[in-house]
Amino acid sequence: MWAQLSAVLALLCLLQVQAELPVQADFQQEQFTGSWYSIGLASNSRWFKEKRQVIKMCTTVVSPTEDGNLDIASTYPKLDQCETKRTLFLRTEEPGRFTYTSPWSGSAHNIRVLETNYDEYALLGDTITKGADTFTMVTLYGRQKQLRPELLAKFTQTALNQGLAQEDILVLPRTDLCMGESV
């Protein structure tokens, strides 16, 4: 019985830590806009597990909308062609936290800019809810295709701290395909 109680308490502590993950202090949305490369992706979602072997680096352009939201245009290679998907991150009362509902899957996303220095890298956390299932995603973006090893290590540690396993973490393979499409 003590073992079961300990396991439940450990799980509650883990969930508490995940829920309290802070958003970037003094988030400056205008500095966050512009062109980014996806460098790393970590997730325990079924989509990620199914697509992991084919996902490659993509480009993302973040643009402000008139009403203060963020238009996200991601261009990525798919079957040797370039495909662009757009999403609209809806701002919340907390700067650096956004929501959106995927038009493709219907999943609800709670996105947080965990950390950024605006001119080099950004770490984003995403809690994804679809039906009764909840998944976690951590994304590392860079203004350049390659980042310092310390930032890759920070990405990995952030994903692990969010309860993701090592096999859920992927540094995306670099490609030249679609890299000039939006950056």
3-class SS of residue 166: helix
DSSP for residue 164: -
- Give the list of residues 6+ apart from residue 51 with CB closer than 8 angstroms, or none: none
Strands 121-130 and 133-142: antiparallel
- 58 in catalytic set: yes
DSSP of 34-57 = EEEEEEEEEE-SHHHHHHTTT---
CA dihedral 75→25→21→45, nearest 10 degrees, is 0
* Among 13, 58, 82, 178, the one annotated catalytic: 58
Q: What are phi and psi of 153, to 5 degrees?
A: -65, -40
Q: Contact, 141 vs 39, CB < 8 A? A: yes
Instruction: Return the sign of the alpha-carbon dihedral for residues 141, 142, 144, 149.
Output: negative
3-class SS of residue 63: strand
Catalytic (active-site) positions: 58
